[in-house]
Structure 1
Amino acid sequence: MSGAPVAPQHESVETGAAARHLDLLLVPPRARAGWRVLPARVAAMCVVELQKLRHDRTELYTRAVQPALWLVVFGETFTRIKAIPTGGTPYIDYLAPGIIAQSAMFIAIFYGIMIIWERDAGILTKLLVTPTPRSALIAGKAFAAGVKALLQAVVVIVIAALLGVAMTWNPLRLLGVAVAVVLGSAFFSCLSISIAGIVLTRDRLMGIGQAITMPLFFASNALYPVAVMPGWLQAVSRINPLSYQVDALRGLLLGTASHLALDFAVLAGAAVAGIAVASSLLGRLAR
């Protein structure tokens, strides 16, 4: 037997643990891949939005006033006078999907104001120094706007049902409605964030947002068929993502002729492009 002292096993374990802790202090943790961060970021942002609505439901109620007025006043009036050709569909039924898309867009298009507020409060800088990719941050905010718009869409659908609008209650079609609302809202929120990255101030963003919302709305098929528009407006409508969102909602809710594959392809492509552009401008906004 050797008389040399043997180090206790627990001391070697503690030494190894201390070395690993020292390595963590000297070497920063490796950023996770974007595809792993994205679901967690999206879920976190959506939970934040739901918590905001849970603590203050007045925003949800007040935002329901304008869609209700469109349906009750505009929809009921034009249904009676039959001034807009809708192919045999009552005008209020034809209008309801357009108002759903409009109310969702109005929520999302001012989402850039929130990110400017986060910049002014120092929150955005803290988010950017984390290993989370910028695309994941933007996607989280974009789809959180979609969740918020989806709650608004539910309110509009309930109002439309109370007014006698003949809509489908097929669960698969309603799931498609939810996807269309979320994708459209994601694009318009990214458009707002991109504008925020260019103008940098809340006042300018508010002015531009107000300037583009109504043209986007009127240059779509939300109020009237594309066929009755003048030629130049038809061309604008074909590049307006809101037109494809309305077409998808109308086809899903009312069962009218639509181009669902094209509609969802355009909405998904617009959302991805919006996330890419907004992510590229996020650093400029934070400076």
Structure 2
Amino acid sequence: MKHLEIDARLKDWDSFSGSRRWRRRSPWQAIAEFLNKTLVITELEVRKLRHDPTDLIVRAVQPVLWLLIFGQVFTRIRGIPTNGLPYLDFMAAGILAQSVLFVSIFSGGMSLIWERDLGLAQKFLVSPTPRASIVLGKGLASGVRCLSQVFVIYTLSFVLGVQLNFGAIAMLGVLLIVFLGAACFSIFSIIVACIVKSREGFNGMGQLMTMPLFFASNAIYPIEIMPPWLQVISHINPLTYEVDALRGVMLSNGTSLYGYGFDAFILLSVLIVLTFVGGRLYRKVGI
């Protein structure tokens, strides 16, 4: 008889605790929990940067070379239409976007492959953290990582005489676009790393991702001078909208073809889609 009473109490407790769990997991609370776990992953990834910041210094060399050599040479060429902008001004926003692209592509996917080889990815897989939170957290951490590139490009552009907009709202607009763009391309590289799964294979895929994305955009020349087939690719390339937004807010005399709001909406939409896809593919890392 006592056994039946205990059994009944346990069943009541299970139903009660289950109802409590159901009430606790309201939609808003589920979203808050998702964001909290995402920020935990972000903080964990950013902490790695504090222990080894040399990667940011190395990554800053490439955009410096582009502005100092490529920009100085092409400034003397008058055949590239830039809507009245000096070519170095036109190019500065594109080089900032290029720097963000290269850092986010190689930091996102390569770090995932290292974690898989060290067994850390498998530990994330057995944790209760949603896969999408892991992927989004890594993407947001890449956004934080790329904010240093803004300082590098702004400093060099100012030295070279680029007409920059140092207004507070403009600076916040630049940081937001850099953050969204870095998160997008970092998650894109994570998706590729989930499929490739080897360091050698990803190194080759990294070049295959960065160069077409860079040259099929408006980073160093306007879309109008591209052949028609390349213009189609450029209009579906997220880097095009990142460059367009940066060109509108970063330069004191710059303009945005599509509008800052539309560019930010495109990048945010791409980020949401890639996060969903990356969350679905992340489980394959442990296979």
Shared fold, TM over 0.5: yes
Deviation at 1:171, TM superposition (A): 1.1
Moved more, 196-205 or 70-79: 196-205
Q: Counterpart amino acid of 1:64?
A: A
Deviation at 1:69, TM superposition (A): 0.8
Native 8 Å contact 1:34 1:136 kept in 2: no
Alignment-derived partner of residue 14 in structure 1: none
Matches within 5 A, 1:63-74: 63-74=59-70
Deviation at 1:53, TM superposition (A): 3.3
Alignment-derived partner of residue 16 in structure 1: none
Matched, 1:58 2:54: yes
Matches within 5 A, 1:204-243: 204-243=201-240
1:34 and 1:142 mapped to 2: Cα distance?
20
Matches within 5 A, 1:120-159: 120-159=117-156
Matched, 1:262 2:258: no
Gap change, CA 1:195 and 1:179, over 3 Å in 2: same
Native 8 Å contact 2:238 2:267 kept in 1: yes
Gap change, CA 1:121 and 1:131, over 3 Å in 2: same
Alignment-derived partner of residue 8 in structure 1: none
Matches within 5 A, 1:162-181: 162-181=159-178
Secondary structure of the structure 2 residue equivalent to 1:85: coil
Native 8 Å contact 2:245 2:256 kept in 1: no
Deviation at 1:122, TM superposition (A): 1.4
Provide the identity percentage: 46
1:257 and 1:144 mapped to 2: Cα distance?
27
Native 8 Å contact 1:112 1:189 kept in 2: yes
Instruction: List alignment gaps of at least 5 residues for structure 1.
Output: 1-18
Deviations along 1:26-66, whole A, 9 cap, x unmatched?
x9x96975422343334334434443333333222221111
Alignment-derived partner of residue 280 in structure 2: 280
Alignment-derived partner of residue 82 in structure 1: 78
Moved more, 106-115 or 239-248: 106-115
Matched, 1:101 2:101: no
Deviations along 1:197-239, whole A, 9 cap, x unmatched?
1122221111111112111100000000111111111011000
Q: Counterpart amino acid of 2:33?
A: V
1:270 and 1:164 mapped to 2: Cα distance?
34
2:128 and 2:224 mapped to 1: Cα distance?
50
Native 8 Å contact 1:37 1:136 kept in 2: no
2:284 and 2:113 mapped to 1: Cα distance?
12
2:180 and 2:73 mapped to 1: Cα distance?
31
2:274 and 2:154 mapped to 1: Cα distance?
27
Instruction: List alignment gaps of at least 5 residues for structure 2.
Output: 1-9
Pick the structure with greater CA Rg: 1
Moved more, 38-47 or 235-244: 38-47
Equivalent pairs counted in the alignment come to 264
Q: TM-score by structure 1 length?
A: 0.85
Runs of 4+ deviating beyond 4 Å: 29-34
Q: CA RMSD in A?
A: 2.3
Native 8 Å contact 1:34 1:133 kept in 2: no
